Amino acid sequence: EAGVTQSPRYAVLQEGQAVSFWCDPISGHDTLYWYQQPRDQGPQLLVYFRDEAVIDNSQLPSDRFSAVRPKGTNSTLKIQSAKQGDTATYLCASSFGLFYEQYFGPGTRLTVL
Amino acid sequence: DAKTTQPDSMESTEGETVHLPCSHATISGNEYIYWYRQVPLQGPEYVTHGLQQNTTNSMAFLAIASDRKSSTLILPHVSLRDAAVYHCILRVNTEGADRLTFGKGTQLIIQP
């Protein structure tokens, strides 16, 4: 069974550029989570979906961050006008439903210069 | 505002049994105790979880204090592959509030 896949694995940007991260959850998992993990810290939840609906996006840092999951399967997290403070690993996780175990992808390591 | 306290690091030797402590003095009755572990360049991996009773699976044994204010993850016969950051997390079971709040965790170092 394939795990959670993410792309790209790495991204390097200049400040002000935009970037998108893509996540393909485990087949059959209706709940999808995006986390931000700065270097030497634990992951922090940004947003999560059940099917295509946003359940909680209150932790998205600012209007520069947006996330969609239009068909309730794959998801995209986008950062408009990236800043150096956005440098982190962005992790996607999926689960069979709320409160089930979350399975994480390998993450996308973003560096903003 | 992490609700759990863990040592920054612990060290052990291959073949030994490791006890990873976690303090959660303000745990609520509806909060589950979850453990995840993470190695560099990978996402966290689920280890185990419990509410009140001790639990065991192929990876670890979770011992929960009777007052639920602390727990210990026990890893038997560790190998080099068990070297990771181990996160102790409280997860509330409330509709619309499914959130894993990670702290820095405990860096487990395994010597050959």
Mean of pLDDT values over A74-85:
96
Task: Find, in chain A, the residue whose alpha carbon is nearest to that of B88.
Answer: A42
What is the reported pLDDT for B2?
A: 55
Is B96 in contact with A55 (Cβ distance < 8 A)? yes
Percent over 70 (pLDDT), chain B: 94
Q: Which residues in chain A have their CB less than 8 angstroms from residue B41's CB?
A: 106-107, 109
The helices-and-strands tally (H runs, E runs) of chain B is 0, 9
Element (H, E) at A14: none
Which pLDDT band, with edges at 50, 70 and 90, does B96 fall under? Answer: low
pLDDT in tens, B11-41: 999 999 999 999 999 998 888 999 999 999 8
Distance from CA of B45 to the nearest CA of A (A): 7
| Amino acid found at A19 | V
Which pLDDT band, with edges at 50, 70 and 90, does A62 fall under? Answer: confident
pLDDT higher than 90, residue B102: no
Question: How much is the mean pLDDT over chain A?
Answer: 93
pLDDT in tens, B56-81: 999 999 999 999 999 999 999 999 99
Is A91 in contact with B101 (Cβ distance < 8 A)? no
List, in sequence order, every beta strand (DSSP E) within chain B: 9-13, 18-23, 31-38, 45-50, 55-56, 61-64, 70-75, 84-92, 106-111
Is A55 in contact with B44 (Cβ distance < 8 A)? no
Q: Which residues in chain B have their CB less than 8 angstroms from residue A57's CB?
A: none
pLDDT higher than 50, residue A63: yes
Cα(B2)–Cα(A46) distance, integer angstroms: 16
